[in-house]
């Protein structure tokens, strides 16, 4: 047949084998980074030593057990989920808005989450003590998650008329909504004292330092459910690349794809931001890099974004823990310091493709 690669019957221009191979490599990378992450940290507990002890049937020292299973493991799993959530949500939003620079921030999710977190940090003291005690120090993540959902639902409501969501309206309304939310946040920050301002700054830069089994237990089901939806969006997002009309022509239920994309990205991002605070760049850099490596077909792009996003976040977390040990840098600083220049380099070396 024409244009077929004889030995394997593969059509030229079909890059799914690249996506498949990449998925295998990225899985190995994630495993490797995870083992490294478990084995490194301020306490000097070595995962290898602990595992050897454990395999030999010796009892673990209490300190080793605590460091490994109550500190590093939940932190590692939080990193995996947050990284995967941010990168996959980024890829989904870029597909939905047909724009490689889109990110979940466009849904008002980040702005809403910030407002929630800021409110909790600054105004949390005004709550009745019983409620404050019930929420404990989960107050900030809970408020962030609630804020992200309220913002997303308002925005989705504005952009949807007669069962059809206008992506263009959503984009513009999102800018207006983000401005209003930022103003509101500013008002609240105006009331903050010095300690609260410090908390706010650190929350805005993101960190996995507060990771715990409880937090993970609350966020993991949401993130996993949202990520589980995304493979069903892959064909729809491919079709949307031709525009909404053409996507419908080829037999896609466009509104269903749009609603699924918006809801899953907002849920995953909201939960991720609640665990870790604001972490930039992962959602844009990871999908972009993968598109350059294996093309924009979402059937592998979404899976690979999850794998690479998780690895990137764990690696960034390791760096944030080690450069100023025993103190920690906010992870958002690491992702931006490394991600920013890297993204610029990728952009400049691929101008030909981008300008076309």
Partner 1 sequence: MSLIARDIHLRLGRTDILHGVDLTAPVGRVTAIIGPNGSGKTSLLRALAGEIVPVSGRIALNGLPIVGMRPEVLAGHRAVLPQQSAISFPFTAAEIVRIGLTSVAGDQIRQGALIGEALAAVGLPGHAGRLYQELSGGEQQRVQLARALVQVWQPVVDGAPRWLLLDEPVSSLDIAHQIAVMRLAADYARRGGGVVAVMHDLNLTGMFADHVLLMRGGRAMAEGAPAEVLDSALLSDAYGCRLRVGEVPRAGVWLLPHSATL
CB of 354 to partner 1, least distance (A): 8
Structure token pair of residue 112? 């809403």
Query: Where is 165: in which H helix or E strand?
Result: strand 164-165
Site for partner 1, residues 76 to 105, rule: CB under 8 A: 98-100
Nearest to 207 by CA among 327, 301, 66: 327
**Does the footprint of partner 1 cover residue 176 (CB under 8 A)?**
no
- Per DSSP, 266 falls in state H
Report the alpha-carbon distance of residue 244 to residue 236 in Å, rounded: 10
Other CB atoms within 10 A of residue 259 CB: 15
**Does the footprint of partner 1 cover residue 344 (CB under 8 A)?**
no
Report the alpha-carbon distance of residue 151 to residue 132 in Å, rounded: 23
**Contact between 22 and 294 (Cβ < 8 Å):** yes
Nearest to 291 by CA among 236, 237, 338, 229: 237
Specify the stretch interacting with partner 1 by CB under 8 A; choose among 137-145, 196-204, 291-299, 333-341.
291-299
**Does the footprint of partner 1 cover residue 10 (CB under 8 A)?**
yes
**Does the footprint of partner 1 cover residue 245 (CB under 8 A)?**
yes
Nearer to partner 1, 20 or 65 (CB): 20
**Does the footprint of partner 1 cover residue 348 (CB under 8 A)?**
no
Specify the stretch interacting with partner 1 by CB under 8 A; choose among 56-64, 123-131, 132-140, 237-245.
237-245
**Does the footprint of partner 1 cover residue 20 (CB under 8 A)?**
no
**Does the footprint of partner 1 cover residue 296 (CB under 8 A)?**
yes
Exactly one of 250, 323, 325, 347 binds partner 1 (CB under 8 A); which one? 250
Specify the stretch interacting with partner 1 by CB under 8 A; choose among 6-14, 58-66, 142-150, 277-285.
6-14
Nearer to partner 1, 183 or 353 (CB): 353
CB of 210 to partner 1, least distance (A): 37
**Does the footprint of partner 1 cover residue 168 (CB under 8 A)?**
no
Place of tokens 């794998």: 307
DSSP symbols for 234-248:
HHHHHHHTT-HHHHH
**Does the footprint of partner 1 cover residue 3 (CB under 8 A)?**
yes
Report the alpha-carbon distance of residue 115 to residue 278 in Å, rounded: 12
Report the alpha-carbon distance of residue 269 to residue 309 in Å, rounded: 13
**Does the footprint of partner 1 cover residue 23 (CB under 8 A)?**
no
Report the alpha-carbon distance of residue 127 to residue 123 in Å, rounded: 7
Other CB atoms within 10 A of residue 117 CB: 28
**Does the footprint of partner 1 cover residue 128 (CB under 8 A)?**
no
Other CB atoms within 10 A of residue 204 CB: 15
**Does the footprint of partner 1 cover residue 356 (CB under 8 A)?**
yes
Exactly one of 241, 323, 325, 347 binds partner 1 (CB under 8 A); which one? 241
**Does the footprint of partner 1 cover residue 242 (CB under 8 A)?**
yes
Please report, as ranges, the residues that interact with partner 1 according to CB under 8 A: 1-4, 9-15, 98-100, 235, 238-239, 241-243, 245-246, 248-254, 291, 295-297, 353, 356
């Amino acid at each position: 047949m024409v244009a077929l690669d004889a030995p394997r019957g593969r059509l030229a221009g079909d890059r799914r084998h690249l996506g498949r191979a990449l998925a295998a490599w990225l899985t190995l990378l994630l495993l490797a980074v995870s083992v490294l992450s478990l084995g490194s940290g301020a306490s000097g507990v070595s995962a290898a030593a602990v595992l050897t002890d454990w395999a030999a049937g010796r009892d673990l020292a209490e300190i080793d057990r605590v460091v490994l299973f109550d500190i590093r493991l939940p932190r590692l799993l939080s990193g995996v989920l947050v990284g995967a959530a941010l990168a996959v949500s980024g890829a989904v939003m870029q597909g939905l808005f047909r724009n490689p620079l889109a990110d979940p921030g466009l849904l008002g999710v980040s702005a809403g989450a910030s407002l929630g977190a800021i409110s909790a940090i600054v105004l949390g003291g005004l709550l009745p003590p019983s409620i404050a005690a019930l929420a404990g120090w989960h107050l900030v993540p809970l408020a962030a998650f609630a804020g992200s959902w309220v913002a997303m639902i308002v925005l989705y409501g504005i952009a949807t008329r007669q069962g059809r969501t206008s992506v263009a309206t959503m984009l513009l309304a999102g800018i207006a909504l983000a401005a209003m939310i930022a103003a509101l946040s500013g008002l609240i920050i105006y009331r903050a004292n010095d300690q609260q301002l410090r908390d706010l700054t650190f929350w805005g830069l993101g960190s996995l330092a507060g990771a715990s089994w409880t937090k993970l237990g609350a966020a993991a089901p949401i993130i996993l459910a949202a990520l589980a939806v995304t493979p069903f969006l892959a064909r729809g997002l491919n079709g949307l690349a031709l525009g909404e009309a053409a996507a419908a022509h080829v037999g896609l239920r466009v509104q269903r794809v749009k609603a699924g994309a918006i809801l899953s990205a907002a849920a995953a991002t909201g939960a991720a931001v609640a665990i870790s605070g604001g972490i930039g760049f992962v959602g844009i850099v990871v999908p972009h890099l993968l598109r350059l490596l294996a093309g924009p077909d979402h059937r592998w792009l979404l899976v690979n974004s999850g794998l690479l996003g998780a690895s990137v976040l764990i690696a960034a977390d390791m760096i944030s823990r080690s450069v100023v040990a025993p103190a920690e840098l906010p992870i958002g600083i690491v992702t931006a310091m490394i991600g920013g220049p890297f993204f610029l380099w990728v952009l400049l070396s691929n101008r030909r493709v981008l300008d076309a």
